Chains A and B, each alone.
Chain A
Amino acid sequence: MAEQMSDDDERQQSPPSDLDFTSNKARTCIVTGSVSGHSEFQSLYPDQVLENVLENVLHFLTSRRDRNSASLVCKSWYRVEALTRSELFIGNCYAVSPARATARFTRVRALHLKGRPRFADFNLMPPDWGAHFNPWVLAFAKACPWLEKVYLKRMSVTDDDLATLAESFLGFKELVLVCCDGFGTSGLAIFVSKCRQLKVLDLIESEVSDDETDWISCFPEGESHLESLIFDCVECPINFEALERLVARSPSLKKLRLNRYVSIGQLYRLMVQAPQLTHLGTGSFSPSEVAGQGDQEPDYVTAFAACKSLVCLSGFREIIPDYLPAIYPICASLTSLNFSYANITAEQLKPIISNCHKLQVFWVLDSICDEGLQAVAATCKELRELRVFPVDAREDSDGPVSEVGFQAISEGCRKLQSILYFCQRMTNAAVIAMSRNCPDLVVFRLCIMGRHRPDHVTGEPMDDGFGAIVMNCKKLTRLAVSGLLTDKAFDYIGRYGKLVRTLSVAFAGDSDMALKYVLEGCPQLQKLEIRDSPFGDAALCSGLHHYYNMRFLWMSSCRLTHQGCQQIARAMPRLVVEVIRSADEEEVYDRVQTLYMYRSLEGPRNDAPKFVTIL
């Protein structure tokens, strides 16, 4: 699932990417040997040529980290790099202001912005905290009208922002909204109607209000340039006939992900129109109530067989498993399969998965049980990413998957790079086994759903399992821990997790030492999110040397006090230290409910709601 890739999946080193303190580092670029000592660049002809050469060369530099490094060489390189940067990535929208960004990078074609911290997805923060797209779209509309692509994650976008996007950027081509909110179908309607060059509209895990506007009908008539239309998260009915006509006139359409209001009969009609699809989200994968009135069922198998380029399959939002055999023809070519909404059993999965030899990405529900996971392990030797979600996401439910399936996966899928696994029971032994069997692991996220749950066979904490992961998986950059964990686990992480960039901690640790180990031991740490763990002000202070290297630190329901946070704020002027209360709470307690702090060039933001105090 390309859209789910975070920058942790890129294996690159990471100097600060959203801040540049270049004023201290600019040096004179010595060109002909005659201008040393001058800070101004002389406009001599040979220098002009050099700058042109530089510009042409730097155009080829695509990695943002390489570009950040290049910009630090000297003022000339800084300037040329800024002119040639076409993709601007800002990992925290509050780290830099739109004005500053547009002033430096004037020829940006693509903007990638991230807003809220991830824990906001789990209701750990009141809504309306911030991360508004509005000031960005307005600034870019004025300064960079040639912007073509916008990629937003966890930001608030209004209908008006969508209108601005469509109206101010004439060649606008791609909009991707991941985990965003604040807009509705009316905003979409305006957007699609005015964006004549639109190629990509991807709405992923976003909340879209139903204003009962038929936005699908608002796509302009005539041949469309659409290459990707993803709206599986839109929770309202759509005008199917309009969609069918749209698909019919979109010859370049490669990615289509339908929402659950599209029945399987309707899916058939669309597939017949678009056999060139590479990515398909099947919608509900069940018949509507109206169908089946003695009508002959369409030949779904043939429809799937006709899609010879199909490599990525998802959807199955309200699956009737009887229809699963329809996808048999394409199983052998699938590289990505998302069954994470399909409540199917192991028996229902086996005939499918036994043909998916090329599968690299697999998302599934734990309804398939350990037995289903064993079937996956038996066939999917190319598996790179596995995510197992719980059907019943409660702490005390019976878990259908356990260390048995986990270990089977580790033994069968040796090339595994990324795993997210929800379970109720786990053992250190299985985790250790995975650390040995899957040395390529980059992302390891294990969620034992019961809080403080130990190894269920030995009763010991899960320290050793996670310790083995950081020790043996030398490429690990992202780690999420769970279960009963003592300070020892964090000792291991600090000692061996030298490449870890993102760490998620919940209900773990015994004392400040745990946090100290991590802050002192992990030089690459950029994103640290902690909840309900006994870390206090002293632990917080132990990271002072590192906070400017981090994108953010989140600590909620820990043991921080206002004084402690105040100390940090005073010691580090370029850090914005936000103390967040729950929306109805008055500011009386000394204990800090939530701390969210991040480096920023701009100082305290001016759009903070009243439940946020910036120290």
Chain B
Amino acid sequence: MVTDKMVDYPQFLNLMNKEWLVNHKVSEDKKLELRLGPPGEALDDNRNTTHGTKRAFQHTAETRTGEKEWPIDTTKNQCQKISCIEKIGDKVNLPPTPWSSGSTIYSAFSKDTKEEPQHSKASFFQNLPVSKKLAGMAEDFKQPCSPRMAVGEVQFADGKACCSLATADPDASTNITSNKRIEYSPVVGWPPIRSFRKNIASNSLSKPASSNDKDTGGKPENPKTQLFVKINMEGIPIGRKVNLSAYNSYEELSLAIDDLFSGLLAAQRDPSATQNESKAKESAKAEAGPLAGSGEYTLIYEDDEGDRVLVGDVPWNMFVSTAKRLHVLKSSELSTLQICSNEKEKAPFDPAVHI
């Protein structure tokens, strides 16, 4: 419980309602009933409704004696809280938990409680599994969401909806933790770590064990999620990197490379880059349209033995595991290069390999 420590900081406690704390303690022993519904709906309605993206969570406390406390909040929000609840005709004595009040206030400020179209994430909300323990603790727990609950305490999933779903994880007591975790699909840019700080575990773990070929440019240390290889386009001095493990087929890779370089070519053609007089610009002008479709360019790669091979010769997975560099060359130049198809080159070195 947190309250012991909080009592050590009376300065801060003045901000909070001590009585609220006490009641909160008291409430943990009471059985509480959870109901869900958007504000304005009759509480007797036990249907699950997920319309609108905000929900107010209300509960009824079975035993609550003369509780009138609210958090110390003298703004008019407090009055709104009370009036909202009264409007709903709720006889519930809501404990002055901060977030339950928050969820009823918004009607004054947002226009969209009822007319909001169902948010795409609302369906995600419905699909969350409910742990048995949770279901056991709340009698009327209808909606398959996961309010945060600790042992013996009542939690309320808050009313936010657009992104937010009741989360996983009250690690309060040891035995419940893993049950309560609910899997989220990963979200872009969260946690907010820049990409060069990721993959540290794999980099350091692989270092002593294997002999890494750092000079290949790829990152074989982390095959699961990242397999960057350098790719150079003929005529463009600036190379790029592509993540081979992000694609599942040659078509996808080809499109991605197309995107990668067409932007670069377009930038080179841009007349505002007044200082650019490299021949790269000239060759870029010669390029007609998308790389993939025009047939003007060909993709080749260097494998782990240093041989240059035409992309597309081997099954995709084999390509991903052996490709170390990629090159985009003009089709007209191919004849002058030493390119071999995979079958011819591999056989003398390793006749046992079946291609």
Q: Report A's interface with B, CB cutoff 8 A.
A: 119, 121-124, 128, 134, 138, 158-160, 163-164, 179, 184, 186, 205, 209-213, 233, 236-237, 261, 286, 289, 317-320, 340-343, 365, 389-396, 422, 425, 427-429, 432-433, 435-436, 447, 449-461, 463-464, 467-468, 471-472, 484, 486-488, 491-492, 506-507, 509-514, 516, 531-534, 536-539, 557-559
Chain A CB within 8 A of B194 CB: yes
Separation of A395 and B185 alpha carbons in the complex (Å):
10
* With known contacts A184-B239, A432-B5, A121–B194 Cβ distance under 8 A: yes
Q: Is the CB of A396 within 8 A of B214?
A: no
Residue contacts A-B, CB under 8 angstroms, 20 given: A119-B192, A158-B267, A317-B203, A320-B207, A341-B197, A395-B191, A396-B168, A428-B6, A433-B5, A450-B168, A454-B148, A454-B155, A454-B167, A456-B172, A492-B15, A512-B110, A532-B187, A536-B109, A536-B110, A539-B110
Chain A CB within 8 A of B12 CB: yes
Q: Given A341-B197, A512-B106, 10 other A-B contacts at CB below 8 A?
A: A164-B275, A205-B194, A286-B208, A289-B211, A391-B200, A429-B6, A436-B9, A459-B153, A463-B99, A516-B109
Q: Is the CB of B2 within 8 A of A428?
A: yes
Q: What is the distance, in angstroms, from A232's C-beta to the closest C-beta of chain B? A: 10
Partner of A186, one of B105, B193, B238, B276: B238
Q: Is the CB of B102 within 8 A of A318?
A: no
A residues in contact with B272, CB < 8 Å: 134
Q: Is the CB of A447 within 8 A of B111?
A: no
Q: Which of B158-166, B295-303, B344-352 contacts A (4 or more CB under 8 A)?
A: B158-166
B187-213 vs A, Cβ < 8 Å mask (1 yes, 0 no): 111111111111011011101100110
A residues in contact with B274, CB < 8 Å: 138
Partner of A511, one of B11, B159, B263: B159
Separation of A422 and B193 alpha carbons in the complex (Å):
10
* With known contacts A164-B275, A211-B239, A488-B98, A455–B162 Cβ distance under 8 A: no
B residues in contact with A122, CB < 8 Å: 188-190, 192-194
Q: Is the CB of B170 within 8 A of A456?
A: yes
Separation of A449 and B190 alpha carbons in the complex (Å):
8
* With known contacts A122-B188, A507-B164, A427–B2 Cβ distance under 8 A: yes
* With known contacts A164-B275, A390-B191, A539-B109, A451–B98 Cβ distance under 8 A: no
Give me the 4 closest cross-chain CB pairs, A-B, nearest first: A122-B189, A511-B106, A510-B102, A486-B99
Q: Which of A484, A492, A516 has the most CB atoms of chain B within a 10 A radius of its CB? A: A484
Partner of A510, one of B6, B158, B194, B214: B158
Q: What is the distance, in angstroms, from B119's C-beta to the closest C-beta of chain A? A: 9
Partner of A450, one of B169, B214, B263: B169
B residues in contact with A539, CB < 8 Å: 109-110
Beta-carbon nearest neighbor of A436 in chain B:
B9
A residues in contact with B110, CB < 8 Å: 511-512, 536-539, 559
Separation of A389 and B184 alpha carbons in the complex (Å):
21
Chain A CB within 8 A of B51 CB: no
Separation of A463 and B158 alpha carbons in the complex (Å):
13
Q: What is the distance, in angstroms, from A443's C-beta to the closest C-beta of chain B? A: 15
Q: Is the CB of B164 within 8 A of A534?
A: yes
B102-119 vs A, Cβ < 8 Å mask (1 yes, 0 no): 110110011110000000
* With known contacts A122-B192, A538-B109, A559–B148 Cβ distance under 8 A: no
Chain A CB within 8 A of B292 CB: no
B residues in contact with A538, CB < 8 Å: 109-111
Beta-carbon nearest neighbor of A233 in chain B:
B196
Beta-carbon nearest neighbor of B275 in chain A:
A160
* With known contacts A511-B105, A559-B110, A432–B208 Cβ distance under 8 A: no
Separation of A436 and B8 alpha carbons in the complex (Å):
10
Chain A CB within 8 A of B181 CB: yes
B1-40 vs A, Cβ < 8 Å mask (1 yes, 0 no): 1110110010110011000000000000000000000000
B71-101 vs A, Cβ < 8 Å mask (1 yes, 0 no): 1010001000000000000000000001101
Beta-carbon nearest neighbor of A289 in chain B:
B211
A residues in contact with B204, CB < 8 Å: 318-319, 342-343
B residues in contact with A237, CB < 8 Å: 214-215
Q: Is the CB of A209 within 8 A of B187?
A: no
Q: Is the CB of B198 within 8 A of A393?
A: yes
Q: What is the distance, in angstroms, from A238's C-beta to the closest C-beta of chain B? A: 12
B residues 249-285 touching A (CB-CB < 8 Å): 263, 267, 272-276
B145-157 vs A, Cβ < 8 Å mask (1 yes, 0 no): 0001110010100
Partner of B201, one of A318, A391, A487: A391
Q: Is the CB of A341 within 8 A of B212?
A: no
Chain A CB within 8 A of B223 CB: no
Q: What is the distance, in angstroms, from A130's C-beta to the closest C-beta of chain B? A: 13
Chain A CB within 8 A of B183 CB: yes
Q: Is the CB of B167 within 8 A of A212?
A: no
Separation of A31 and B190 alpha carbons in the complex (Å):
59
Beta-carbon nearest neighbor of A284 in chain B:
B207
Chain A CB within 8 A of B237 CB: yes
Q: Is the CB of B163 within 8 A of A507?
A: yes
Partner of B12, one of A343, A464, A511: A464
Q: What is the distance, in angstroms, from A263's C-beta to the closest C-beta of chain B? A: 10
Chain A CB within 8 A of B186 CB: yes
Q: Is the CB of A457 within 8 A of B273?
A: no
Chain A CB within 8 A of B234 CB: no
Q: Is the CB of A557 within 8 A of B2?
A: no
A residues in contact with B16, CB < 8 Å: 464
Q: Is the CB of B5 within 8 A of A506?
A: no
Beta-carbon nearest neighbor of B181 in chain A:
A396
Q: Is the CB of B99 within 8 A of A318?
A: no
Q: What is the distance, in angstroms, from A332's C-beta to the closest C-beta of chain B? A: 27
Q: What is the distance, in angstroms, from A205's C-beta to the closest C-beta of chain B? A: 7
